[in-house]
Amino acid sequence: MKIRILLVDDEKEFVEALAERLRTRDFHVTTAFSGDEALEKLKEYNFDVTILDVRMPGLDGIEALRAIKKLKPLTEVLMLTGHGTIETAIEGMKIGAFDFLIKPCEIDVLLDKIKGAYERKAEHEERIQKALVNKLSTSPMSILE
Amino acid sequence: MEHHHTEADKSKKPGLLSNKMLWLIVGAACFVIIGFIIPTPQSLIELVEKQKIAEKLIGWHVAHDVAHAAWKAKLVLAMIPMAVIYFATEALPIGLVGILMPMFAYFFKLLPMKMIGQTFAGDAPLFLLGVLAMGVTVIGVGLHKRLATWILGWTKGFVVPIVVLCVSMSVLGSFISAHAMAAFMAPVMAAVYMGAVSANSNEGVIEHDPQLAKLLLFSLCFALNVGGVGSPAAGGRNVIMMGFWSDYNVPMSFGRWMMYGLPLTPVLGLAVAGYMLFVFRKVKTKDLTPGLLAIKEETKKMGPMSYAEKVAFGMMLLILFLWIVGGHDLGLGGPALLALVIPVVFKIADWRKILGGISWDAWFMYCGALTLGALLKETGAALWLAQLFLGGLNAIGCGKGLGLWIGMSSFSGLMTNFMSDAGTTALLGPIAVPMGIMSGVQGEPWAIGLATAFATSFAHFLIVGTPNNAIVYGLGVYPDTGQRMISPIDFVKYGFVLWVICLVITWVLGFMVLYNVVGFPEGITETAKAVLLSNTQ
């Protein structure tokens, strides 16, 4: 199954170019140009990895990250940052982001981080599934609880 | 699109069924009312006297006169509605309900102390212990995944993958834990679905085809359910039935069960495929090939067969071989215990992992079922119930042979949708077996026992009927939206007719054809009757 990515940045040209590059590498990419738009899309869809710019007008990266983690705790977040905002990215990692990337980044570095984030999410989901299956195997009725 | 959001599920208010304490009290109240308040039926007193059961119980020092012996039988009868309530509502863990059986036997002195422990053990529990241990190792090394990807990986198109899925899952479900298979295959089916619909969708927006999602998940789920008839290793309920027959001195071999049950599995699997393809004939996506790449990806990820998988596969084949040809000397428990020893000796599984993986809850429940069976048999309660039900069934012309098997399988099939399959067999088996014996038809009590056990594999129409249903429902989620692919009412909608179809196939192919073609050994009815009437004790 294709890895589903939500790419969030207010720089439209950057977002569209990066989305296209990722699509050619067989990712399923959805774009959003603000934190609010990202949250709207997250309400409707599940994404494996969200790539989130830390500095955006309106809802900033950290606020958006908190909201994403509240809405979809399993979605892994990669923070996109410039040299001046590394502190913010580190703060983001403290509150649940998987990693950060400094713009402009090498595509191979980005791909590695996406892969790492996806693997962590898949592992987490597998553990949840295992626990659910164990519960349902002994008590099918618990599905109704 | 009819979606049921998983998030929404969390906000559901707990229903009456989830009030465990209430049901705990209701079950206990039933036991007290039947056991201590309602007077002992005169027919039960007469039966324990006439059949010399009272004499036996007095001789064992568990009753001091006929009325007391009949009261002990009534206490055992009172345990049945209590157990039904506890199994159906899960007011207590099933293993604990199992433990209640010997516990009550000790505290109410229903059998001599030495006999109680014996009823809780024996070949059947050891067999089950091995089956559970084999499941832990096979699943632990991922052999079930390998088998599933081998079987499905080559398929293309639409009809062929569905037919292969249904037939292979029903046959595999006869030997490998269907729950584990459901847990592995449900996400694979979701991936097959996503691959297939993505190929038909524009970039960026996936156009869902809910009918296809349901077709894939229900085909998987129902095919795994029907696999339960194929062999005694399919599930604990079959083992329980084997235990009941042993109690009546007419044990059935592993191979013999397969002769009656295994030919049914591919036919039932085909019926599932046929019915599902008919019901979901209007699916938009008619090509699963792009989705089946997901299975190929799984196979690729696994790489070549590992040492652990090879040992587990060899162990499984060896144990199956010994079950089939080992005969009565080895029993079923003997070969099964290899499943505990081989993985540790060949270092493919850790001893603690095996111990941790075995479902002791299920094991205690099965052992308790055997104790309940023995209690019903020894106190005369089984005989009394059998005569009572046979009287009613005779009045409508279903008192023996095909009519009885159809009646019993229908009741068992119905009951298994409301409570666990093992619970159904545990409660119906001790009554069905003496009913078969008393009907006096050649082949009893095997025929009625198989009828009862086979139907417990048809828990298709309620989500709580079997863990397979709950697991497929729980894991069947659209990966992109997180919404559920099926709803609980879908089980009624698509499972009920299939439940009828499965029963009819079992009646026609099982009872009318296989029972006659395979036949039954001479004298088993007489042997079992002698035990039932306490002549051989």
Nearest to B474 among A1, A28, A132 (CB): A132
**What's residue B517's pLDDT?**
96
B53-69 tens-digit pLDDT? 999 999 999 999 999 99
Query: What pLDDT is stored for residue B11 in this prediction?
Result: 46
- Indicate the residue of B14, B194, B470 with minimum beta-carbon distance to A136: B470
pLDDT band, very low/low/confident/very high, at B252 (cuts 50, 70, 90)? very high
- The burial class, CB within 10 Å (0-12 / 13-18 / 19+), for B533 is middle
Q: Does A46 contact B469 at a Cβ distance shorter than 8 Å?
A: no
pLDDT by residue (tens digit) across B139-175?
888 888 888 888 888 889 999 999 999 999 999 999 8
Q: Does residue A142 sit at the B interface (CB-CB below 8 Å)? A: yes
pLDDT surpassing 50 at residue B422: yes
pLDDT, average across residues B364-391 = 89
- The Cα of B7 is separated from the nearest Cα of chain A by a number of Å equal to 10
Residue A99 φ/ψ, nearest 5 degrees: -165, 180
Which residue of chain B has the CA closest to A24?
A: B203
Longest dimension (CA), chain A: 54
Supply the range of the domain harboring residue A29: 4-144
Q: Do B204 and A137 touch (CB under 8 A)?
A: no
- Distance between CA atoms of B510 and B83, rounded to whole angstroms? 30
Q: How does strand A4-8 pair with strand A49-53?
A: parallel
Which residues on chain A are in Cβ contact (under 8 Å) with B204?
A: 28-30
A24 at B interface, C-beta within 8 A = no
The owner of tokens 């393809």 is B277
- Tallying the residues shown for chain B, one arrives at 537
Structure tokens that stand for B333 in this block: 């428990």
| Residue B536 confidence class, pLDDT cut points 50, 70, 90 | very low
For the record, the structure tokens of A1 come out as 């199954």
| Structural contact between residues A41 and A17, judged by C-beta atoms closer than 8 angstroms | no
Kindly indicate the confidence band of residue B204, based on its pLDDT and cuts at 50, 70 and 90. low
Q: A4 and B470: CB-CB below 8 Å?
A: no
pLDDT of B145: 81
Into how many domains does chain A fold?
A: 1
Q: Is the pLDDT of residue B535 over 60?
A: no
Phi-psi region of B518 (alpha: psi -120 to 50; beta: other; left: phi over 0): alpha
- Specify the range with the lowest mean pLDDT, choosing from B332-336, B431-435, B454-458: B332-336
Residue A81, pLDDT score:
85
Distance from the A8 Cα atom to the nearest Cα atom in chain B, whole angstroms: 15
Q: Does the pLDDT at position B127 exceed 90?
A: no
Region of poorest pLDDT, from A105-114, B145-154, B162-171, B422-431: B145-154
Report the pLDDT value the prediction gives residue B6, as an integer from 0 to 100: 47
Residue B203 has pLDDT above 70, yes or no: no
Mean pLDDT value of segment A26-46? 92
Rounded to an integer, the average pLDDT of B29-46 is: 96
Q: Does residue B17 register a pLDDT over 80?
A: no
- The answer to whether the Cβ–Cβ distance between A141 and B464 falls below 8 Å is yes
Instruction: Give the pLDDT score at B10.
Output: 46
Q: What is the mean pLDDT of chain A?
A: 90
pLDDT higher than 80, residue B527: yes
Q: What is the ipTM of this complex?
A: 0.81
Q: Which residues of B touch A130 (CB under 8 A)?
A: 183
Residues 430-469 of B with CB under 8 A from A: 463-467, 469
How many residues make up chain A in this entry? 145
**SS3 state of residue B477:** strand
Nearest CA in chain B to A129: B475
- Of A76 and B239, more confident: A76
Find the mean pLDDT for residues B312-321.
92
Interior/surface letters A70-98, b for 16+ CB within 10 angstroms, e for the rest: eebeebbbbbbbeeebeebbebbeeeebb
Question: Looking at the partner chain, which of B12, B464, B482 has a beta carbon nearest the beta carbon of A140?
Answer: B464
Helix H or strand E segment including A21: helix A12-24
Domain CATH code at residue A11:
3.40.50.2300
